[in-house]
Structure 1
Amino acid sequence: MTTAQQPLPSGFGAASTAEEVIKGVDLTGKVAIVTGGYSGIGLETARVLRSAGADVVVPARDLRRARAALETVPGAEVEHLDLLDPASIDAFAEKFLASGRPLHILVDSAGIMATPLTRDARGYEAQFATNHLGHFQLAARLWPALVAAGGARVVSVSSRGIRFGGVDFDDLHFERRPYEPFVAYGQSKTANALFAVELDRRGRSQGVRAFAVHPGIIIDTGLAKHVPAEAVRASGAVDAQGRPVRDPARQLKTVAQGAATSVWCATDPRLAGLGGVYCENCDISPLVAPEEEAAWRAGAETPGVLPYAVDPEAAARLWEVSERLTA
């Protein structure tokens, strides 16, 4: 397949922080929405965008918790939104659109990982519904504000979890196949990547570009709370005492490093005119060649994205399915 998955290079790397990549960027007058912007890398993303002058809106299911966390981000706005509740998504979008503000940056950072089998009120599997469908619906409802920006970027936080599997269009919600938490997570993260591909194709003529991001492994954000402790230790993400291991070359990052690629995709001027690509370590990822796939899967050191996660035909199909699922 032909692909835009070619590193620039950007001049940044795995150890770069969000503050480093935004240095010199002025976001005064820009508006950003950051889902998950009150914890983990989402909070750091919101903080850094705000520090560069952006008006930052953080949608949150738990308003009290969000407001407490965002006391460190003066001026950040908090509004109610539950990604598993379609009516909540619509209400948030309607309120934002009614404000008349354009939306320059949308960072989809909220997510859940490897949860036990849970379904929403529609019967949809929760990881797919939260990580992908909720963000799909949010972007669709906010589309007029993205277009009004006259140059907007959507950042979809994916993961190297794409390696656990692609999108199973025949059984999205594990109604027939056995439920495996990491397979479901992988499907949702592949969906995040495919979402960026098709959103970019549909939006580029109107100035809306999209990027998917692998932030790295940031073990102390709470995302891995459903992962057994022995699995976390086996991954090398913590030491014998259970303390986080920091080694950016192996994708084991701090929160500041983990937020860097999202911020880079949202703001770096070198990405003007680009989009629909999967990024990591503050650069565009190369495509993993078939002969390199086994080595890529065996370790986290080698950057890259699997072809099925950026396949334009799969992306178009997912978009159509998502439209039906979210009405």
Structure 2
Amino acid sequence: MATHSKFDGKTEASDVAAAFADQIRGKTILVTGLIREAAATVVGYAEPTIDIVINNAGVMNIPKRTLSPAGVELHLATNHLGHFLFVNLTKAKLSGARIVNLTSNGHALSPIRFSDYNFDKMEIPEEEQPARAACEAFGVPWGVGYLPPIAYGQSKTANILHAIELSKRFKSEGIAAFSVNPGDSYQAVATILVAALDPKLKESPGAYLDNCQITEAAPFAMNEIAAQRLWDLSERLTAERS
């Protein structure tokens, strides 16, 4: 549970900032954008450490299946691999840092398609197929071919799994990662700030937050074996080992 049990979907960013003013004061906070260029700049900062990293860059619902220059489906490449690479490239500055991955409740649409992350195939294992119930709830067509919301959902599941494995692998260096469904425009960045600032969350590294509180993501997005597999796949796809 977060420190303030009364925080919810109606909590505004200013409320969170006021509650955790002591956690903001004197901190170096980084919101990510471009990857290798930005990473090189960050590593060159005079500050010895970065206190908070908010992995925010992303794309959504690209109408036609598109691959990155490296040959990876663009939702996964931008929304996950970019963040994965950035953190690995700036790790020297992240001792004791808190890392926040922006995800979405749309993660529930799809697990990671380890056998077909690029949406090349029309047949994939059942456990990698889109979640029928979530598709129905979101009003999204079900299918194993390329569908923009499903590709987006896969990348958002990756954000959650990345936070889980990142917290596990870098625990000895005091790094804790969290994933956040940022909510609607009313809430703005409130849940993001809870994940970035609430000291009580140190007890729950890798947690998923929604409406300013820790909550459960889809089971496939909380699976530790899937988190390990995604990390290994990400290392191969970025040619960058931590």
TM category (shorter chain) comes to: 0.7 to 0.9
Residue in 1 that maps onto 2:7 = 12
Q: 8 Å contact 2:180–2:192 — kept in the other structure?
A: yes
1:181 aligns with 2:111: no
Aligned residue for 1:41?
A: none
Output the CA distance in 2 between the equivalents of 1:193 and 1:258.
20
3-state SS, counterpart of residue 211 of structure 1: strand
What is the aligned-residue RMSD (CA, Å)? 1.6
Letter in 1 for 2:61: A
Amino acid at match of 1:97: V
CA distance in 1, matches of 2:223, 2:3: 20
Equivalent runs, 1:190-209 vs 2, <5 Å: 190-209=157-176
Match of 1:278 in 2: 208
Q: Find the partner of 2:57 among 103, 107, 110.
A: 110
Counterpart secondary structure, 1:272: helix
Q: Per chain length, whose mean CA-contact separation is higher, i.e. which structure has more relative contact order (CA < 8 Å, sep 6+)?
A: 2
Partner residue of 2:111 out of 150, 154, 166: 166
Contact 1:8 1:284 in 2 (8 A): no
Q: CA deviation at 1:9?
A: 6.2
2:2–2:198 CA contact under 8 A, matched in 1: no
Contact 1:166–1:187 (CA under 8 A) maintained in structure 2: yes
Q: CA deviation at 1:272?
A: 2.8
1:29 deviates by 2.5
2:28 aligns with: 31
The one-letter amino acid paired with 1:113 is: M
Deviations for 1:280-325, whole angstroms, at most 9, x for unmatched residues?
111100x3xxxxxxxxxxxxxxxxx211111111001100100110
The gaps in structure 1 that reach 5 residues or longer are 1-5, 36-58, 60-80, 82-88, 219-252, 288-304
Match of 1:94 among 40, 58, 61: 40
Q: CA deviation at 1:11?
A: 2.5
Q: Please give the per-residue CA displacement for 1:18-42, whole angstroms capped at 9, x wherever unaligned.
A: 110121413232111113xxxxxxx
Change (3 A) 1:8 1:99: closer
1:131 offset after TM fit, Å? 0.3
Distance 1:7 1:277 in 2: 11
Q: Any unmatched runs of 5+ in structure 2? A: 123-144
Report the count of equivalent residues: 213
Q: Residues of 1 paired with 2:16 and 2:67: CA distance?
A: 38
| Deviation (angstroms), 1:135 | 0.6
Q: Counterpart of 2:102? A: 157
